[in-house]
Structure 1
């Protein structure tokens, strides 16, 4: 077979990945894309910070916004909607004046909490070294 024929032949990337070590090797073809979607969500910086902030129980929307530096109202709202859609966070609206809305982790969200907190702790413990590495890389 010529090199041209090899290049034109479709490749089976998932089959290649399954032969290589790593987390992707454990995923079947049917669910791989969905698993990557979930990783995108739970690995997103705002999701990590929201989940971590909800660790101690229900929190009002305004208190969430105050507790997460740099998050815009739009990003907080979008993140909460996605976390609710996936069943990680629940929203409770109280019929009061002024209206009160609280968010809390569901049991599924709570099951993710230790992983999220470990990631946040790792980031806090290693940011100085990473900053030094970036500076050295950018200088070279």
Structure 2
């Protein structure tokens, strides 16, 4: 029931909700904060902030405990928007299946049937694969 808006007209550069429908508001949880209160919202939780006084302060910190480097899921989404979003429906469906298989992994690790030493860049990021994958992506983006 939320209407997600553009990402390039926001203060944070992240997708935001443009409007809230009556049915979404009816299911909302409201937290009224007093002076000195803080509210932690988990990553990717949609929320709305409404100032109720004449002087208010909002501090936002986008923390990513998993970040392996300067890359972020939002960057991957933006790249996917230019690489995939306007392709024909059947091709988008095929890419969705590949993303599910390799990235979202609903059935577990995609190479679980192959010995770990043969996983290549699909092995753990911490054992050097982060750098390998990033170098491949940067080379591709440079046109090489």
State the TM-score, normalizing by the size of structure 1: 0.26
Q: By percentage of residues, which structure has more helix?
A: 1
Higher RCO structure (Cα 8 Å, ≥6 apart): 1
In the superposition, the TM-score normalised over structure 2's length comes to 0.26
